[in-house]
């Protein structure tokens, strides 16, 4: 074979590979939160992007991550969503109701990962089975969870009579979650002390209200505002020897007493699966909203001891994790 012919054959064989490399699709996934931006290497972000990598979407190769977070400044959320849209994201994964609401308005395909509240009641989707728009994802049952959290408090404090509930009044999803929790409490004869907050300074008023009229326990509804101020709530509960239950196990690891909520690993793994389906052409309207199947009950025995509280053995036996 002549040298010129050989070179021609090599070039012809290499051309499809080069063409493929030049035309390989690059996918853009956005994340939007009312809190800090998500890191693809830490906590929930790592679960999400590990799940995407298992499905063939690898950061630095065929996947670009656009992260936005309002760090508690909810007024910034709509602008951050417009930035994601301008960046050309194919799909956005949201944490919090404000982020989900902004994503819905944008028209960008959206996957709810956590914190959206009841997506039907808030109008994010038409129904769980048939979302009908550009939004789908994972959403838990607030009524069932509220009843369970109250039952855990009742198991800890058989004479439980009055519960202070902390939530963000400016978050529609969490306001509805509070209302569901309040109805659940009233249904079992527990008086609710409503302590809605809108900004960090409002926590001082909430603490003053509890000091004037002490509750038997605290239930905190999680959103960007309450999570950013969680240490203040943990410290207040410790100083006043008040049992408290939270929605996220991360708060218990920070010193909170108890938590009961959806397993965030499962939720973000499922969110990755939904992102994959959307990137492959499935419309969010045709993807039913899923509910978590795994829930975690976590107790911090060190915190219990510090406030002079003995956790019943029957309650400890129910825990998925006991922090000592």
Per-residue pLDDT reduced to its tens digit, 30-62 = 999 999 999 999 999 999 999 999 999 999 999
Do residues 115 and 199 both lie within one domain?
Answer: no
Mean pLDDT across the stretch 135-140?
Answer: 94
Residue range of the domain that includes 198: 142-262+295-323
81 and 16 assigned to the same domain: yes
Closest by CA to 261, choosing from 160, 172, 139, is: 139
**9 pLDDT higher than 80:** no
Looking at residue 174, its pLDDT comes to 87
Question: Do 11 and 127 belong to one domain?
Answer: yes
Residue where the block lists tokens 């004479």: 159
Average pLDDT of the residues in 112-130? 93
Give residue 274's region: left, alpha or beta (phi > 0; psi -120 to 50).
Answer: alpha
Q: What is the per-residue DSSP string for 111-143?
A: EEEE----TTTTTS-S-SS---SSEEEB---HH
Catalogue the long-range contacts made by 53-60 (C-beta closer than 8 Å, 24 or more residues apart). 54/272, 55/272, 55/273, 55/276, 57/27, 57/29, 57/275, 57/276, 57/279
Residues 178, 303: one domain? yes
Task: Report how many domains make up the chain.
Answer: 2
Q: How far apart are CA 14 and CA 22, in angstroms?
A: 13
């Amino acid at each position: 074979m002549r040298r010129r012919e050989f070179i021609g054959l090599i070039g012809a064989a290499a051309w499809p590979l080069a063409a493929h490399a030049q035309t390989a699709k690059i996918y853009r996934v956005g994340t939007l939160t009312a809190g800090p931006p998500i890191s693809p290497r830490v906590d929930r972000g790592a679960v999400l992007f590990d799940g995407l990598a298992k499905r063939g979407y690898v950061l630095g190769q065929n996947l670009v991550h656009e992260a936005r977070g309002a760090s508690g400044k909810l007024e910034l959320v709509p602008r951050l969503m417009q930035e994601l849209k301008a960046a050309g994201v194919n799909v956005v994964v949201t944490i919090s109701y404000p982020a989900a609401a902004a994503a819905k308005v944008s028209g960008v395909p959206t996957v709810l990962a956590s914190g959206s509240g009841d997506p039907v009641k808030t109008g994010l989707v038409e129904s769980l089975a048939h979302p009908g728009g550009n939004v789908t994802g994972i959403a838990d049952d607030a009524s069932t969870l509220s009843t369970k959290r109250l039952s855990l408090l009742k198991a800890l404090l058989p004479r439980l009579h009055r519960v202070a509930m902390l939530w963000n009044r400016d978050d529609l999803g969490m306001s509805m979650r509070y209302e569901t929790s309040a109805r659940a409490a009233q249904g079992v004869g527990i008086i609710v002390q409503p302590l809605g907050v809108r900004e960090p300074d409002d926590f001082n008023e909430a603490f003053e209200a509890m000091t004037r009229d002490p509750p038997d326990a605290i239930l905190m509804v999680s959103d960007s505002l309450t999570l950013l101020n969680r240490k203040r709530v943990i410290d207040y509960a410790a100083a006043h020897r008040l049992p408290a239950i939270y929605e996220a196990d991360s708060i218990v690891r920070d010193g909170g007493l108890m938590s009961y909520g959806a397993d965030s690993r499962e939720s973000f793994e499922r969110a990755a699966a939904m992102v994959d389906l959307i990137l492959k052409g499935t419309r969010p309207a045709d993807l039913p909203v899923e509910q978590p199947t795994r829930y975690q009950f976590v107790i911090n025995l060190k915190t219990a001891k510090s406030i002079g509280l003995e956790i019943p053995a029957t309650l400890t036996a129910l825990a998925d994790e006991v922090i000592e």
